[in-house]
Amino acid sequence: MMHRLQRQTVPASIVNLADHEQQARQHLDDNAWAYFGGGAGDEITLRANRTAWDALRLQPRVLQRLAGGHTRTTLLGRTLAHPMMLAPVAFQRLAHIDGELASAYAAAALGTGMVLSTQASTPLETVAQAFLADVGSGPLWFQLYLQHDRGFTRTLVQRAEAAGYEALVLTVDAPVSGIRDRERRVGFHLPPGIRAVNLDGLSPRPSRPLQAGRSALFDDLLHDAPTWDDVQWLQSITHLPVLLKGVLHPDDARQAAAIGVAGLIVSNHGGRTLDTALTTAQALPAIVQAVQGRLPVLVDGGIRRGTDVFKALALGASAVLLGRPAIHGLANAGAVGVAHVLRLLRDELEATMALMGCATLADVAAANLLGNPA
């Protein structure tokens, strides 16, 4: 039986995504707040992701024909009502009892695509059933971390295929976890009843014996870190398109295009892995130039306004992904909160397009941006 969602409302005082974030702090305990809100190291990249979008200035055109405009776009053969998707975020039941299921219902109702995390706290089949029940839903993708057990990874991929997921998003920027001081200070832990349910049955990774002076990281754990060979192996075992998430360097973008990857997501893991890494707004133009239109490029990180979405599209992105803002909405009002976040951003994007003199996303691609991302 499908889980019955809680009925909640969004306070009238919440009118933007910053309001959602402030309100969410009241609903999330220190443990959950450190996990969802924290970044790596001194959180320099976490903060810079946001300010980089602010550093770009818009140069509007006036007296343009705008009637009949729209935000529709196509991505991997699918039509989206607007160029936004929910990014993969793990353990969403830490934020709200309805977790990923609430996010799925909200995204489907708003025509927004969704990427489900490997480390979701709700079974991938349950999420797919909820999301795909809405005929107006956008694309549903499954984010994948390659596991040390290839047989288990293959089974996980087969489950995603059978459930109706339309693409695989392989995260490639986290061979190890970032150094997250906030989590260490609070002693982050998963409460009873919350776990990565889609990894049930995965056997513990066998450790390698270490000689004196050897590194537990380089001489043990990183033997299982994915490589380009693993990307090609993944492509060989699935009929689904494979996208890479976490690309910041143009050379990696070119190599991905050369082996037939279906798309790229410019991401620095929300500032959660390598601190002082360049921002996604800084990295995006070079990645777009490197692939020369051979595959779609998406971007995440620090997007909080419709103007940010517009700027990402003007820099060449096909769509954006939203992580923390959706979690804030989820914490505040479950599915209704997530839907409210998405509606706010879509409304802001439409207003920005109109004020910039852009009737369609094709016009956005030619829009003038001034300045460089900080």
Pairwise CA distance, residues 326 & 58, whole Å: 26
Pairwise CA distance, residues 112 & 103, whole Å: 10
Q: Is 269 one of the catalytic residues?
A: yes
Are 156 and 147 a contacting pair, CB within 8 Å?
yes
DSSP code string of 48-112: HHHHHHHT-EEE---S---TT----EEETTEEESSSEEEPP-S-GGGT-TTHHHHHHHHHHHTT-
Q: Taking Cα atoms as reference points, which of 93, 149, 84 lies closest to residue 123?
A: 93
Total residue length of the chain: 374
Pairwise CA distance, residues 16 & 344, whole Å: 7
Are 52 and 281 a contacting pair, CB within 8 Å?
yes
Pairwise CA distance, residues 185 & 205, whole Å: 27
Strand partners, 113: 85
Pairwise CA distance, residues 154 & 135, whole Å: 29
Q: Taking Cα atoms as reference points, which of 250, 255, 362 lies closest to residue 316?
A: 362
Pairwise CA distance, residues 16 & 13, whole Å: 9
Q: How many distinct helices (H) and strands (E) make up the chain?
A: 13, 12
Measured between its terminal Cα atoms, the distance across the chain in Å is 49
Side-chain-facing half-sphere of 299: CA atoms under 13 Å: 29
Residue 66 burial class via C-beta count within 10 angstroms: exposed 0-12, middle 13-18, buried 19 and up: middle
Instruction: Kindly state the tokens that stand for 71.
Output: 């935000």
Strand partners, 115: 141
DSSP conformation class of 86: E
Catalytic residue among 20, 82, 96, 269: 269
DSSP code string of 146-191: PPS-HHHHHHHHHHHHHHT--EEEEE-S-SS----HHHHHHT--PP
Active site residues: 269
